[in-house]
Amino acid sequence: MDTVFRMNWGVLALRGALATAFGLYALLRPGQALATLIMVFGAMVLVAGILSLVAGLRRQSHHRPIAAIVVEGIICIAFGLLALFRPGATAVAWLFLVSGFAIVSGLLHLAAGLRLRKETPGEWVLVADGVLTVVLGILMVLLPWAGLLALIWLIGGYSLFFGILLLVTAFRVRAGGARRPRQA
């Protein structure tokens, strides 16, 4: 297994360099990084939708049910085109979806925390988590562009950290391979 890593250390290094470059791009140019992410998402979903339609047509030629896969393909194509031609609307819609999830999740955590307090007196962590998650969801709805900016910064920071770790790993694997003699 380690031989495979040593032989492909360059692939790890390239992946690390790309992740680091994107991380820096997202941190330094968050607005452009958001547009880039939405365009890539749009292209990927559009291709997935086209492939779903092709798969549906192939299933039809074998007399198999196709409704679900064709509907999925149509929905993917619609979302892909929306992301490509209306990236701002896609970003805001996605943010509202995430915000809604945070609010619902926070309310569920709050309810569970209040129920847990009856069984474990003084328990407040889950209640606090629920309140903070609801507040986060509400703030994201009230300040959508700030929420998107924060999200891009998180993605950029993660990508930068991930890329640096991959680069370190790649060069350590390369150095380890140079020090160890190959076994026959």
pLDDT tens-digit readout, 147-175: 888 888 988 898 899 999 989 988 888 88
Alpha helices in 65-143 (DSSP H): 67-85, 87-119, 125-142
pLDDT digits (tens, 9 = 90+) for 81-134: 988 998 888 888 878 887 898 899 999 989 888 888 887 777 788 889 889 989
User: What is the per-residue pLDDT for 1?
Assistant: 46
User: What is the per-residue pLDDT for 124?
Assistant: 84
Q: How far apart are CA 91 and CA 42, in angstroms?
A: 11
pLDDT digits (tens, 9 = 90+) for 64-94: 777 888 898 999 899 899 889 988 888 888 7
> Residue 5: what are its φ and ψ, rounded to 5°?
-65, -45
Query: Residue 158: what residue type?
Result: Y
